[in-house]
Amino acid sequence: MVVIVNPHHGDHSEDGEEISSLLKTGYLSKPCIAPGVLLKEDTTIEDIMKCCEKHKGEKITLIHAGFTQAKALAEKLGDDITSSRNIFFEAHCGKLYRKHFQGTERILLRDGFKRRRNADYPVVEEFSDLHVTYEEEGMNGFGDFLIVGDDYMESGGPAYAVAIHLTFIDPEKDDAMFIYHFVSETKDTPTDPAGKFGEALNSLVAKLDSGQSKLIETSAIKEFRDLHEKSHFPGLGYVKKLSMKHHIETIAAYFG
């Protein structure tokens, strides 16, 4: 897990010192936790080097998300660059940018989720093929933003329509990943989210029972089936959690 020490949003966006201090209280001794530095449009090389200096001797993860001075940064890092991990937001980092970090562990991050109003989602659309093609891109790994997308929101409004987003891998299309959007039939009122969820869930279960969905029976799918059987609405936050869980389980099954 990478913990960003200089977040762009939230309470610590002005000063991430408390995050660095918290990590040093014992978390960084765990092999699964590493400090990360976020490189945005307004991040300077001086900012980056200050963060790296705070965590000198640790494996730093540089998260490239709009920063443009790749060559200058690579030169500034010098020999230390080989011990870094680099995550590239594909939308901001072309191959010319990424080539300055050859020889390091490189991960390509793609946002496959096209955000719309819930009522406007198509039944199905392509999500990503990066899990198949990341090595062709010269990368050591890949990532995505699950079924949420690269959007930061602290709050939301009432849902005029409820959508359940579920990904699947299609072996008939070179193992590319697609995403279903099961949307409620009711779309013209902000009331009755439970009823709308029931409509979307009915569509999901009907697709599953058709035997043609290509959705794998993850533990999240089993929970959706259980919710349908009990006619229970767990809340929209929990529905999103299940969709995210299903996506992770689908990817894990593909590489398992």
3: closest CA among 100, 25, 148? Answer: 25
Could you tell me which of 216, 113, 123, 190 has the C-alpha nearest to residue 163? 123
Within 8 A by CB and 6+ apart from 63, the residues are: 2, 4, 36, 37, 38, 39, 87, 89
Q: What is the pLDDT of residue 212?
A: 96
pLDDT of residue 7: 87
pLDDT of 11: 55
**What is the predicted pLDDT for the residue at 59?**
85
- Yes or no: say if 204 and 182 are a contact pair by the CB < 8 Å rule: yes
Q: What six digits make up the tokens of 65?
A: 């998300």
Confidence (pTM):
0.89
**Alpha carbon distances (Å) from 33 to 38, 61, 209:** 16, 11, 41
Q: What is the pLDDT of residues 100-115, one digit of tens each?
A: 999 999 999 999 999 9
pLDDT in tens, 37-85: 999 999 999 999 999 988 888 889 999 999 999 999 999 999 888 889 9
Decide if pLDDT at 33 tops 90: no
What share of the chain has pLDDT > 90, as a percent?
A: 76
| Span 197-255, pLDDT tens digits | 999 999 999 999 999 999 999 999 999 999 999 999 999 999 999 999 999 999 999 99
Q: 86: which 2 tokens? A: 């680099």
Q: Are 35 and 23 in contact (CB under 8 A)?
A: yes
Q: What pLDDT does 153 receive?
A: 55
- Coil vs helix vs strand at 36: strand
How confident is the model over 184-189, as a mean pLDDT? 94
The least confident of 15-24, 151-160, 179-188 is 151-160
**Where would I find the H helices in the chain?**
17-24, 45-54, 70-77, 95-98, 130-133, 193-210, 219-230, 236-255
* CA–CA dist 166, 182 (Å, integer): 8
Res 16: pLDDT: 55
Band (pLDDT 50/70/90 cuts) for residue 34 is confident
In the numeric block, the tokens 């400090």 are attached to 35
CA dist 18 to 6, 63, 158, Å?
10, 20, 35
